[in-house]
Amino acid sequence: MDDRLARFSESISFDHRLYKQDIRGSIAHAKMLCRQSLLSADEFLSIERELRDIESILDRGEMPFRIELEDIHMHIEQTLIDRLGDTGRKLHTARSRNDQISTDLRLWVRESLDAVDGLLKNLQRAFLKRCTMDEGVVVPAYTHMQRAQPVLAAHYWLAYVEKLERDRTRLADCRRRCNVCPLGGAAVAGTSLPIDRHYSAELLEFEDVAANSIDISSDRDFAVESVFVLTMISQHLSGWAEEWILWSTTEFGFIKLPHAFCTGSSIMPQKVNPDTLELTRGKSARVVGNLQTLLVLIKGLPLAYNRDLQEDKPPLFDSFDTVIACLELAIPIVEQSELQPQIISARLDQGYLDATALMETLIARGMPQRTAHHKVGALVAIAKSRSVALVDLTDVEIQSIDETLDGSIRTTLGVSGAVRSYKSYGSSGPEQVAHQIQRWTDKLSP
């Protein structure tokens, strides 16, 4: 092989991180071969012993990687052959690098999905803990980045718990499709040797066995799907980061970020920059780009294995690394940040957040919704012209819009009254929020 091609085609520089999965898969394969009398018991024990010793060497970072051996699979197998000779050469019986790579990658993705799920659950718990920390605090909810209605801060935090739960269900669904064993599919057509693929799958804790040997080596749906799920997670983290970046500004002043996760300025001594949140927002672009890379990579590939698929690992690994790093930092930021209720409450009467509550009061008195909407809009216009709150309108001003209205409508006005008025399931009413907090407490308990 031309040295330039050797450098061009090697993957050991990035697939070495699959060594534990490769060794686990090889031991399971050898155990199956032994059970099927394709290896003797002594040969299996020798192979298992040497593979575990090779794993220890790799754990310590003591194996020199050689470009001419291309990938981690060949490094491990060649080391085994160097130690055991012909016994080591028997390990690759009834398998190909095609199904071997797919097996390793599925094992790695399965473990990584579980790691991400654990972090998502801890982030949910962090938001749930905030519900108690910020009990009773009312914040403005926004639509179109304009103040809309008042809500309990706990209701806001629970919105993120819900988003993260959808991420977790997508992870679980992706894991189910990933958890299918390709080992023993061999190069493309299967094998004439009497192997037991179901036993191999059982040893590796797969839930099912891939049923078509042609599909086995070309299938990377699980890799693409996992990065799609990670992309959704990164999008949720990016939206959260954007919101808290805004909330931490002097203009909002809603939240104080922990200084341990912020940085200063090289020239402005007063600055506390939300760099972790900005990087979380920025790194989401990498995950989106990785998804695009994988989609283009598999576009138009003929059956079955093609060398193009070697390029699936860098974007896959990077996506998991990036999202895990973001989640590891998001958890303490959520736990340690501090709402600023005095600043929030000082401006809660700005934006006419109680207008919808007033409209619904008129509806409850029998007025059609569109009529009530129009009349409250007119009252808001009067209040804006005088720069006062709705509750400060005079009886004359109220009756100028509708002579059937009087000062009694003021009892429904104000931010606290609006929050107390919410009754529908999933709303920001105190009873509903308490119910949801209890539901999530039960669901997220250890």
C-alpha torsion 157→160→166→167, nearest 10: -130
Selected catalytic residue, list 144, 192, 387, 445? 144
DSSP 152: E
Selected catalytic residue, list 40, 265, 408, 435? 265
DSSP 182: -
- Bridge partners of residue 149, in order along the sequence: 141
What is the spatial distance between Cα 341 and Cα 153, in angstroms, rounded to a whole number?
10
For 72-224, list the strands marked E by DSSP: 138-143, 146-152, 180-181, 208-209
Is 144 annotated as catalytic? Answer: yes
Q: With contact defined as beta carbons under 8 Å apart, do 157 and 131 qualify?
A: yes
Is 29 annotated as catalytic? Answer: no
What is the spatial distance between Cα 69 and Cα 241, in angstroms, rounded to a whole number?
44
N- to C-terminal Cα distance for the chain? Answer: 55
CA distances from 422 to 157, 343, 430 (A): 17, 24, 8
- Render the burial of 103-129: b for 16+ CB within 10 Å, e for the rest: bbbbbbbbebbeebeebbbbbbbbbbe
- Strand 338-339 with 208-209, pairing: unpaired
Q: With contact defined as beta carbons under 8 Å apart, do 357 and 413 qualify?
A: yes
Catalytic residues: 144, 265
